[in-house]
Amino acid sequence: MAVLPILEVPDPRLKVKAAPVAEIDAQLRKLAEDMLETMYQAPGIGLAATQVGAMKRVCVVDVADKKNGEEPRPMVLVNPDITWRSEDAESAEEGCLSLPSHYADVIRPRSVRVRYRDLEGAEQEVAADGLLARCLQHEIDHLDGVLFIDRISALKRSMILRKIAKTRRARA
């Protein structure tokens, strides 16, 4: 396994829509394995292939509360598709490994159903609410070239992008 570099805003690849996966092969399984290792090391609870420069519709998530002793529950979703969203929504703070140290409240449906293929090629469906629903929506957004800052007000987005630019200038 390998830890992959995570793309950060303003990398234009983060705005590209990922291509569907045609075949689940050893190369895709290796990518998923590396993505899980990268996500755990970051640390994060989700990672889309586009965030590591692979323009494929694959994401990994694990929302287990490891601090409270929960066993890891990694999920690999190939070609995920949200098939249902609840009408009731909620606002919660989100962050992103591609925008380190930046957070904002994002309104999303409280519950979703997601259809996907697992690494064996079998079609699966998961009904999710709470943190898992939020994480799945966030990662599927990445696969569509959408960042969480695209779902907040223009003013808040502008503030975050200015802070990122200022930090980049300070590093240079």
Catalytic residues: 139
User: Smallest Cα–Cα separation from 135: which of 88, 73, 87?
Assistant: 73
Where do runs of H (alpha helix) occur along the chain?
26-41, 130-143, 154-171
Q: Report how far Cα 97 is from the mean position of its chain's Cα atoms.
A: 8
Question: What is the distance between the alpha carbons of residues 56 and 116, in angstroms, rounded to a whole number?
Answer: 13
Say which residue the tokens 């930090």 belong to: 167
- Report the relative pairing of strands 58-61 and 75-85 from DSSP bridges: antiparallel
Burial 24-57 (b: 16+ CB within 10 A, else e): beeebeebbbbbbbbbbeeebbbbbbbbbebebb
Judge contact between 135 and 45, C-beta under 8 A: yes
